[in-house]
A = this chain, B = another copy of it.
Amino acid sequence: MKSVGFIGLGHMGAPMALNILKADFKLKVFDLNPSAVRTLSDAGATTVSSALEAANDVDVLITMLPSSPHVKQLYLGEDGLFENISGQPLIIDCSTIAPDAAKEVAEAAKRRGLEMLDAPVSGGVAGASAGTLTFIIGGKSEALEKGRPFFECMGKNIFHAGGNGAGQVAKICNNMLLAVLMAGTAEALQLGVNNGLDPKVLSDIMNKSSGNNWCLDVYNPYPGVMDNAPAARDYDGGFLVDLMNKDLGLAAEAMLSSKSSTPLGSLAKSLYALHASKGHGGLDFSSIQKLFQPE
Binding site for B on A (CB under 8 A): 99, 122, 134, 136, 157, 159-163, 165-166, 169-170, 172-178, 180-181, 183-185, 187-192, 194-198, 201-202, 204-206, 208-214, 217, 219, 245, 249, 251-271, 273-274, 276-279, 291-295
**A-side interface mostly:** helix
Question: Do the beta carbons of A262 and B191 come within 8 Å of each other?
Answer: yes
How far apart sit A267 and B266, CA to CA, in the bound complex (Å)?
Answer: 7
How far apart sit A141 and B202, CA to CA, in the bound complex (Å)?
Answer: 16
Question: Do the beta carbons of B159 and A204 come within 8 Å of each other?
Answer: yes
Q: Which residues of B contact A99 (CB under 8 A)?
A: 195
How far apart sit A165 and B196, CA to CA, in the bound complex (Å)?
Answer: 9
**Cross-chain pairs A/B with CB under 8 angstroms, 14 sampled:** A159-B204, A162-B201, A173-B189, A173-B206, A174-B205, A178-B210, A181-B211, A191-B265, A212-B213, A259-B294, A262-B270, A263-B271, A264-B268, A266-B267
When all copies of this chain in the complex are counted, the total is 4
**A162-B198, A197-B170, A270-B266 given; A211·B177 CB < 8 A:** yes
